[in-house]
Amino acid sequence: MYKTLSFQPYFCGMNQIIVLIKKDLLVDFRQKYVVAGIALYIFTLTYTAYLAFNNVITPAIWNALFWLNLLFSSVTGLSRSFSQEAHRSYYYYFLAKPIHILTAKLIYYGLYEFVLVVLLTWVFNLFLGFPIENPSLFLVNLLVGAIGLAVCFTLIASIVSKTDNASHLMPILAFPVIIPVLLIAVTNSRKIVFGASLGDISANLLVLICFNVIIIALSFLLFPYSWKN
């Protein structure tokens, strides 16, 4: 009986997180125009690059276009992560703790970035090919970088959601935060494109993982205060 009671808060928190993730999933499925708009954005930008380069594209340009597409697709999707919660704030005060809300957002938009990476990789492979000598290493670096983008944008979105000009402040505040993620991730992927091995990028990859951990820790420290305000 003692053990059951000791684990009760843990299971209660997990239930709240799962419910909040399901809520975000249902909201996105109801607003199908948002999902369709992001998919159309990816398809249009990739097809435009295909027409512009006439199917002749160097690996370096392919890498640059890939990260540009991922960056702007992430901004489009993740900038609304907390804007849709503005009219539910007082309701959430009686249902879930700020830590559970943030955890649900990080998990959901981490999965969102994973789906975005899969879709973007498939579309690029369809139109522009996949000129990578080590696909598995490229995808590992890509996923770590995508998680970094998801965490950074989620943190900034939680802060600007309390302001009146969230759509304008989001790119201004997010730009300095995502610079380290982009700098390291794009540098790693450029090296991988030209045949680098895990040993060549291991130091940068470790720095990128540590940066993600630091941003997640800062999110859990700052979010409860911004949410209560």
In angstroms, rounded to a whole number, what is the distance separating the alpha carbons of residues 3 and 7? Answer: 6
What's the mean per-residue pLDDT of the chain?
A: 80
146 within 8 A of 116, measured Cβ to Cβ: yes
**By residue range, what is the domain housing residue 187?**
2-228
In the structure encoding, which two tokens stand for residue 150, read together?
A: 């998801």
Please give the single-letter amino acid code of residue 208.
Answer: L
Closest to 107 measured CA to CA, from 25, 43, 45, 49: 25
Closest CA to 178 of 202, 149, 156, 213: 149
**What tokens appear for 96 in the block?**
């879930």
Confidence band of 67 (pLDDT split at 50, 70, 90): very high
Question: Which residue from 156, 152, 155, 159 is spatially nearest to 229, judged by alpha carbons?
Answer: 159
Report pTM.
0.83
Give the pLDDT of residue 86. Answer: 56
119: buried, middle or exposed (CB in 10 Å: 19+, 13-18, 0-12)?
middle
Name the domain count of the chain: 1
**pLDDT tens profile 1-48:** 334 434 345 446 678 888 888 888 887 777 777 777 788 888 888 888
Largest Cα span, the chain: 69
Say whether pLDDT at 115 is over 50. yes
What are the pLDDT digits (tens) for 205-223? 999 999 999 999 988 888 8
What's the residue count for the chain? 229
Q: Is 1 exposed, middle or buried (0-12, 13-18, 19+ CB in 10 A)?
A: exposed
